[in-house]
Structure 1
Amino acid sequence: MSFFLALIISCNSQDKRPVIGETEYQQELNASYKDASKSPLKKKDLKQFKGLDFFPIDSTFIVNAKLTKTENAPIFEMATTTDRKPLYKEYGILEFNIKGTNCTLTIYQSQAEAEDEKYKNYLFLPFTDDTSGEDSYGGGRYMDVFTTDEKPNGTIELNFNNTYNPYCAYNEKYSCPLTPRKNHLDIEIKAGVKVFKKH
């Protein structure tokens, strides 16, 4: 299931503590992580959790990407941090420009989610960039994109401010898809969530 969809559905708006975050996305992400019933954080990290660290909001990391759909893409087993191998297929290729750099990413569709009426429009976009392993999580970050976001002209908006870490960045008990090597961006994406500093 889409992480962001899950947190929107289960976000507890009755939490009396103020929720940290510059945007609605950041506030919802932090609210989910503060909730012990669904947070990926370990108990000791949850006790001291005040909010995730984010890069400053930067509109230059909101881009329109040209989407070229992959016809008759084969279903394959996606490598993860464990022995689990969920089934995915390549949905298409995204081409865009960030700060003068031409970028290409492959976007995927989970076969399990494609069969679920609630999540059939969800697409999975994992990536690494030149901040990975330093300012951001070494295993890369994820972005949720939806087929319904595609515009009639064949483009789709990517907002790198709304990226998040896989649960494995917080707790090794989770099984997370590994970012394919071809989804590395030769640019620093200083937007979205930063690396988590464990206690």
Structure 2
Amino acid sequence: MNFYHTINKLLKPLILVILLGNALQSFGQDYKARINAFRKGYENDFLTDASSPLKKDDLQFLRFYDADSSYRVTADVKYLTGESIFMMPTFNGASQQYVRYALLNFRLNGKELQLTVYRSIALANVTAYKDYLFLPFTDNTNGNTTYGGGRYIDLNTADFKGATMMLDFNKAYNPYCAFSGKYSCPKPPAENYLAVAIEAGEKLFAKTVNH
């Protein structure tokens, strides 16, 4: 056998491993940059929203888990039809109209899990928000490293690609109620409790909150 052919045959697996490692490292860096950009936009929203509970000086107290792509999972989608409108309670005792939109089934931390996605009836009638979808959830970090009332993920109908969608818990954020008791924030329904610790997304606000 040709000597150079033999060397090439021996080195090829090593080269593939190196290339794969470089690709994964590049993906990790790009992913972290995307999450950082998302969080920067999240922080800026507090400064542009007239009803924001936070001022510029408060932003230093926002805390997040490090970006972790293992909390970005592909979920199987089951669309729900013929669902009745129901009243989702809020933390201040009021309620808001929602309808169940879809079920998301996925695997995370070695467990098969499910979440329900909801559509706000009020927002569905506003042109700018007609495609907005709502994913509130609770998990085993609540009251410890994350807000006790659970967290939210914003979705859009465009996020759903047929029978699957990409669910990213790194984009989980606190409701305004985590920062002030003056807001009417929906409580995540019991069906959206995850019996795992979702160590991704926003953590507890690092400043005393008056409720």
Give TM-score scaled by structure 2 length.
0.77
Would you say how many aligned residue pairs link Structure 1 and Structure 2? 175
Offset of residue 105 of structure 1: 0.6
Offset of residue 84 of structure 1: 2.5
Q: Map 1:144-163 onto structure 2 (within 5 A).
A: 144-152=154-162, 154-163=163-172
Letter in 2 for 1:157: M
The corresponding residue for 2:40 is 27
Q: Deviations over 1:109-160 (max 9, x none)?
A: 00011111211111100001110110000100000111111113x1111111
Contact 2:134 2:154 in 1 (8 A): yes
**Distance in 1 between the 2:113 and 2:106 partners?**
5
- Specify the SS of the correspondent of 1:68: strand
**Distance in 2 between the 1:169 and 1:126 partners?**
14
Contact 1:34 1:49 in 2 (8 A): no
**Distance in 1 between the 2:171 and 2:198 partners?**
12
Identical pairs, percent? 41
Give TM-score scaled by structure 1 length.
0.82
Q: Which runs of 5+ in 2 are unaligned?
A: 1-33
Q: Which runs of 5+ in 1 are unaligned?
A: 1-20
Contact 1:145 1:158 in 2 (8 A): no
**Distance in 1 between the 2:62 and 2:199 partners?**
15
Offset of residue 35 of structure 1: 5.5
The corresponding residue for 1:185 is 194
Q: Which structure is larger by alpha-carbon Rg, 1 or 2? A: 2
**Distance in 1 between the 2:84 and 2:43 partners?**
37
| Greater share of helix | 2
Letter in 2 for 1:129: D
**Distance in 2 between the 1:127 and 1:177 partners?**
10
Match of 2:174 among 126, 144, 165: 165
